[in-house]
Structure 1
Amino acid sequence: MSLDRVVLRASSKINLLLNVFGKAENGLHYLESVVIPTPIFDVIEIKKRCGSEIKVSYSNNLHFENDNVLKIATKIQNYYETSGFEIYIEKNIPESKGLGGSSADAGVVAKGLKKLFNLSDINPEILFSTGSDVTYMYYGGSKIIKGLGETVLSLDLKPRYICVLYDETNSSTKKVYEKFDKIGGNNYLLEDFFKTGKLSNALQNAAIEVEPKIQDNLNLLNDVGFNNVAVTGSGSAVIASSFDKNEFVECVKRLKDNTTANAIAYHYTKSKLTTL
């Protein structure tokens, strides 16, 4: 049956583990990361239209320079020779927090266009060339990301409780990686992460150097009782993780009593995210 319209959710992500290695010739960094979704998501509507024009719009009249959604939409139209279409995105994922908002939208737009035009699986080069997180966002779920972001491996991860904390602080991915190239960072063995569940981010020190307020938010998580905390991505959001529900719930209560920042608490399983 031919479709004229699709509506999909684009979930944000957090990095439970992020190791950063050397740089490739194109300037991108080699990564190893354990990534899971969060319950923060954008809503994307794609509709066919007459002619060949692509139209992209966002809620609240938002506009993004170098828009990944327009980039990937244009690549897919050119590669698969589709008709025109319009994309409307209800934005809920905050930008510049390390939650992958623009990549999430691009990856899910690719998924939506595949469904709308009954395409074969999207060419991996289209995904990867749009952004290093876009391949993961296209597949979604719990994954290990390797290489420059082009390798995405399935992952069966133990359930856990997660808290995501973010405020008005914005973090520049470009500046954080530039700082990382100067000061370096600490990697954590993937096998040790699976044994302990310890959060780790090689970009953390660089992110704090760029935006010192990030350290304040990490301290706040520690102060309310969380003992497993880290920055996600290049920041500015910070996260806490626990396997103990009672301990986690008490920490979240204390956190919400001590901050006006956004605190999103949820229970993660491979098949379901439950907001607490």
Structure 2
Amino acid sequence: MIIFERAPAKINLSLDVLGKRNDGFHEVEMIMTSVDLTDRLELMSSDNGKIDVAADNQYVPNDERNLAYKAALAFKNKYRIHKGVQIKITKNIPVSAGLGGGSSDAAAVLRGLNKLWSVGASKQELAEIGAFIGSDVPFCVYSTTAIGTGHGEKIYELPSPPPFFVILAKPNIGISTRNIFPKVKMKELVHPDTQAVIKALEEKDFPGLCAAAGNALETVTFSLFPNVAQIKAKMLKAGAEGVLMSGSGPTMVGLVQHYSKAKRIYNGLRGFCEEVFIVQMLDRR
């Protein structure tokens, strides 16, 4: 039996850093939604008890460092499964981009194994397993629109966004969240208005969403990688109604109401960035 799962990229509509906790993690408040740029996973059960991962991207490890591997191991341990699994990952989401590709792959493994081995776990139970794998994994289990608090592991669903197009532009660099948070200086952060983002979602208010959307980590990432700031400036100059960084970067997210404008911005960025996409949100509730 083979199970296929898609693993959607996530984008931030806001990201705020509230302070540092006693456990070393930063307290965050993130509003996220999923878009239709997706990895594709194929899971097949085996009798040898082993976890085999094969990704088609040279920058993605195929061993226990892979979050998909960690998810499979955690699932097997939680539910005392002695079977093995072969996991094939077709990557479409850029790597180390702030788009949650690895976390979404891990979440897809949790959902897929739940079906493959007929465990019957709830999404909440899968999200609880995911919290030990990575802070974005619980959100990716749901792949809807939600606010994440704590260090990202506490998920509360929000209303779906109003309809709009999204331009994703990633420069030819990879950024690890682990390298950004230690450089956070709380006094220098520019905080987004999280409550205004929630209000805009509730009222399906696109201009209000664009005005309130923001990412407190931009000041940190821009200081280390000025070319990321240049992408934001280019998007705004080209007419994107809202622009913010996703996660700790380097991908910039442009919010545009009309496809014709999204296409113009996309064309203008193609010579500046290797990886540029026009996507739409998956949450159409």
TM-score by length of 2: 0.86
After TM superposition, list the pairs within 5 Å mapping 1:37-56 onto structure 2: 37-56=34-53
The amino acid across from 2:109 in the alignment is: V
| Displacement after TM superposition at 1:260 (Å) | 4.9
**1:19, 1:260 → 2: CA distance?**
26
In structure 1, which of residues 221, 228, 236 is the aligned counterpart of residue 250 of structure 2?
236
TM-score by length of 1: 0.88
Alpha carbons 1:176, 1:210 under 8 Å: kept: no
The amino acid across from 1:44 in the alignment is: L
Q: Secondary structure at the match of 1:264?
A: strand
**2:258, 2:89 → 1: CA distance?**
36
CA deviations 1:43-80 (Å, max 9, x no partner) are 10110101211111111454267321111211111121
2:137 corresponds to: 134
The amino acid across from 1:166 in the alignment is: K
| Displacement after TM superposition at 1:271 (Å) | 2.2
Alpha carbons 1:169, 1:213 under 8 Å: kept: no
RMSD of aligned alpha carbons: 2.2
In structure 2, which of residues 18, 27, 32 is the aligned counterpart of residue 30 of structure 1?
27
**2:281, 2:53 → 1: CA distance?**
32
After TM superposition, list the pairs within 5 Å mapping 1:66-215 onto structure 2: 66-82=65-81, 83-121=83-121, 122-156=125-159, 157-181=161-185, 184-193=188-197, 194-195=199-200, 196-198=208-210, 199-215=213-229
The amino acid across from 1:214 in the alignment is: V
Unaligned runs of 5+ in 2: 201-207
Alpha carbons 2:53, 2:86 under 8 Å: kept: yes
**2:283, 2:72 → 1: CA distance?**
29
Q: Give the % identical residues.
A: 26
CA separation of 1:214 and 1:158: change in aligned 2, threshold 3 A: same
CA deviations 1:9-40 (Å, max 9, x no partner) are 10111101111111222222222111111222
Q: Secondary structure at the match of 1:225?
A: coil
**1:187, 1:207 → 2: CA distance?**
15
The amino acid across from 1:12 in the alignment is: A
CA separation of 1:173 and 1:25: change in aligned 2, threshold 3 A: same
Q: Secondary structure at the match of 2:172?
A: coil
CA separation of 1:162 and 1:80: change in aligned 2, threshold 3 A: same
CA separation of 1:153 and 1:54: change in aligned 2, threshold 3 A: same
Alpha carbons 1:5, 1:46 under 8 Å: kept: yes
**1:159, 1:24 → 2: CA distance?**
36
Unaligned runs of 5+ in 1: none
The amino acid across from 1:130 in the alignment is: I
2:56 corresponds to: 59
CA separation of 1:93 and 1:183: change in aligned 2, threshold 3 A: farther
| Displacement after TM superposition at 1:124 (Å) | 4.2
The amino acid across from 2:116 in the alignment is: L
